[in-house]
Amino acid sequence: MSETIHQDKVCEKIEQSYHILGKKWMGLIIHALMEGPKRFSEIQTFIPDLSKRMLNERMKELEECGIVLRNVITDRPVRTEYSLTKKGHELGRALEAVEVWAEKWL
């Protein structure tokens, strides 16, 4: 019985991770941030087909998941940078394996 409960928890976590990553643009946003912190406009330049509205929505979701950190820099002019958290970097490294696969097979 205990093994079944553990297996259910593992499946639940896997399903949750696919739910996050299955949303359009999530993987590319994480990929863009693997290079280091970026401003909103820099992410949008990196992914030109991504609308401002959708990027804003995805960034909020990634923040809520603890994958992205939003940092307001109070210098003049005030600007906002986004970076990956430790959790986000680990996810980005996992996605690099998918990138290798894509280069080979797609």
Return averaged pLDDT per consecutive 10 residues of the chain, 106 residues in all. Answer: 69 90 96 97 96 97 97 91 98 95 95
Cis peptide upstream of residue 48 (ω within 30 degrees of 0): no
Domain that holds residue 52: 2-105
Q: Which residue reads 């490294």 in tokens?
A: 93
Predicted TM-score (pTM) of this structure: 0.87
Looking up residue 82, the CATH number of its domain turns out to be 1.10.10.10
Judged by DSSP in three states, 2 sits in helix
Domains identified in the chain, total number: 1
- The whole-number pLDDT of residue 9 equals 78
